[in-house]
């Protein structure tokens, strides 16, 4: 899916698709989160992810496809 921002005419190619499960790099429990939406503004591109009843927005660099087992051992 390609998203074109009209203000900057910049093309965004999401790394994670809607419905895909991702992990927050900073989450000590390494709980899986599902991507449910994208938010595009003239300056940013964020993913909306859900874990249980919690819905949060994150930048691409905060997410990872693979669970980091070393973080969850602490």
Q: How many domains does the chain have?
A: 1
Q: How far apart are CA 59 and CA 47, in angstroms?
A: 6
Characterize 57-69 residue by residue with b for buried, 16 or more Cβ atoms within 10 angstroms of its Cβ, and e for exposed.
ebeeebbeeeeee
If pLDDT is split at 50, 70 and 90, which confidence band does 8 have? low
End-to-end CA distance of the chain, in Å? 37
pLDDT at residue 25 tops 60: yes
Q: Is 62 left (phi over 0), alpha (psi -120 to 50) or beta?
A: alpha
Range of the structural domain that residue 26 is part of? 3-72
pTM (2 d.p.): 0.79
Strand partners, 9: none
Confidence band of 73 (pLDDT split at 50, 70, 90): confident
User: Which two tokens mark 63?
Assistant: 């997410």
Q: What is the mean pLDDT of residues 26-36?
A: 95
């Amino acid at each position: 899916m390609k998203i074109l921002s009209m203000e900057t005419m910049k093309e965004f190619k999401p790394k994670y698709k809607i419905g895909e499960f991702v992990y927050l790099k900073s989450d000590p429990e390494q709980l899986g989160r599902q991507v449910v939406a994208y938010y595009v503004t003239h300056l940013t591109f964020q993913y909306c992810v859900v874990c249980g009843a919690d819905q949060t927005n994150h930048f691409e660099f905060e997410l990872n496809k693979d669970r980091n087992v070393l973080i969850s051992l602490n």
